[in-house]
Structure 1
């Protein structure tokens, strides 16, 4: 897929942020881990234990306190980042929503890869596909090619993808979800992620017609449930549009509260906005990346 060079340059010097549950693990990465040992950056002192390397003894502190004390250093590693992109029928129905969702998933995955993290992308269409775990900025072309080859399908959903073995990521993973989050089973699917030890970053992308159906006109309209293949006949008037907007606001508020209660982050963007604007105003300005 095409990814604006200016956006690549901006994101290449940025890093994804985490709030707590997600943490770096082993591997040749740049992020501080919870482990202590040999390293360059001093972390803390602790009492000497039999078997410790005597070269780690801090002579000055030991002499001052009369107790043998060793120096410990920060061990760096890689943050596991799982990016799950909804490529189901809700995306197929709105091409500009799909383009922004695809670009947003690429931006977040590229940022992680550039920052030395381990990244896997999973796409949810008729078949759930996984890129495998990638590391190193030299794998960016493979990652972007994987995402660019995805097309929205007539089946598939975010809840279905989260039940797939490919999304059973290690504890401490930052799980990035890019979807419209309009499937009725989404709350239940999200509820299982904290128990897996995953920190969630939920990025909702909605088409302007989903945000406000005024563009559909007035009068009797047939609506199709893309996930259930059911048709609903409604009369679109001012009252119906107000009720719809209120219901969508309540749905999003409940999902946002669910995600934030579990220590995650929620953001919602309008698919009419260009990707570069979303990167600057939603990702960077709100501290999702820094």
Structure 2
């Protein structure tokens, strides 16, 4: 499983556009808040014992007789962590949500790698999270594609627990991208924890057309099975039940969007019927997620 070559070619110059996340690791292409041996001069400071004398400013010394050091902005990598939900609800039916999620994770990872950022994929599991290696540079894209393609379904996993636990492993002030159907219950406390720790979160919600609007679901008595627990429930589906579902779905969407809007984060809903090329060349760019 690999993204279409034509789409990758169109995305070669695409870059992730975080609003708050900061480059903080390695040497990269994004100006960071740290100062060091960079290229762009930003300030002077008094010389301290142990400083590299090559950075002394001879012109200021000639004018003032004081030893001062030139400081430069340090270009670093943005740490990007992609949480790829492969739990039972993502694999239900024909697995279109799972396959869509993997493709979107690959393409977002590609945009990060070609932009000089550092990428790690995390697959939530029932007992423990599965971590990929950390990759940097466009030349590592095929390794990332292969890892995502081989990532196994995770069975039962709780997104809220994953986000809570993940905080311990996240680089400081990084960008966290969560690709999931976001059907878990109260994720608000976990989002608050990430926000308080200075992280920025981008949510990509992947839903089937029937989840967005169940108009094509046949009415009558059906037995439904929970994709993660295996629990069965017999339902009598009629117009009234479908109407109630639409109201509850709209309320859920409004609630979770409100949580993200309050933090000035992005929450993007994608249908498995949506064209992936349009998503990456138009939709995400229009929403300020990608350049």
Q: Is this a same-fold pair by TM over 0.5?
A: yes
* TM superposition score normalised by structure 2: 0.87
Deviation at 1:247, TM superposition (A): 1.1
State TM-score, norm by structure 1.
0.87
- Secondary structure, in 3 states, of the residue corresponding to 1:30? strand
- Residue 91 (structure 2) aligns with: 92
Question: How far apart in 2 are the matches of 1:179 and 1:163?
Answer: 16
Deviation at 1:237, TM superposition (A): 2.5
Residues 238 and 184 of structure 1, relative CA distance in 2, 3 Å threshold: same
Distance 1:5 1:42 in 2: 40
CA distance in 1, matches of 2:58, 2:288: 38
Structure 2's unaligned 5+ residue stretches are: none
Alignment of 1:192-231 (within 5 A): 192-231=193-232
Counterpart contact for 2:24–2:172, Cα < 8 Å: no
The aligned counterpart of 1:275 is 276
Once the two structures are superposed, the pairs formed by residues 149-164 of structure 1 within 5 Å of their partners are 149-164=150-165
Q: Secondary structure at the match of 1:184?
A: coil
| Deviation (angstroms), 1:67 | 9.6
Aligned positions of 1:2-17 closer than 5 A = 2-17=2-17
Q: Out of 194-203 and 165-174, give the one that drifted further.
A: 165-174
**Cα gap change, 1:172/1:239 in structure 2, threshold over 3 Å: closer, same or farther?**
same
Change (3 A) 1:67 1:244: farther
- 1:49 pairs, out of 46, 49, 55, with 46
* Unaligned 5+ runs, structure 1: none
Contact 1:96 1:272 in 2 (8 A): no
Cross-structure match for 1:255: 256
Query: What SS does structure 2 have at the residue aligned with 1:103?
Result: helix
Distance of 2:260 and 2:166 partners within structure 1: 22
Show the counterpart of 1:116. Answer: 116
Question: For residue 27 of structure 1, what is the aligned residue in structure 2?
Answer: 26
Deviations along 1:206-265, whole A, 9 cap, x unmatched? 001111122221122333333444333333223322221221121122112212323421
Structure 1 position 178, deviation (Å): 0.2
The CA RMSD measured in Å over matched residues stands at 2.8
Classify 1:70/1:156 alpha carbon distance in 2 versus 1 (closer, same or farther; 3 Å).
Answer: same
**More displaced stretch, 167-176 vs 26-35:** 167-176
Measure the CA separation in 2 of the matches of 1:96 and 1:164: 28
Shift in alpha-carbon separation, 1:230–1:191, aligned structure 2, 3 A:
farther
| Aligned-partner Cα distance in 2 for 1:262–1:34 | 22
State how 1:129-208 maps to structure 2 within 5 Å.
129-164=130-165, 168-208=169-209
Q: Helix, strand or coil: the match of 1:74?
A: strand
| 8 Å CA contact retained: 1:161, 1:167 | no
1:114–1:227: structure 2 CA closer, same or farther, 3 Å change rule?
Answer: same
Q: Distance in 1 between matches of 2:282 and 2:248?
A: 26
Q: State the Cα distance separating 1:112 from its structure 2 match.
A: 0.6
Alignment partners' CA distance in 1, 2:226 and 2:252: 17
Change (3 A) 1:247 1:123: same
Aligned-partner Cα distance in 2 for 1:277–1:230 = 37
After superposition, give the CA deviation of every residue in 1:156-199 in whole Å (9 maximum; x if it has no partner).
24234335569721111100000000012433433322233321
In 2 relative to 1, CA 54–107 (structure 1 residues): closer, same or farther, beyond 3 Å?
A: closer
Q: Is the 8 A contact 1:29 1:76 kept in 2?
A: yes
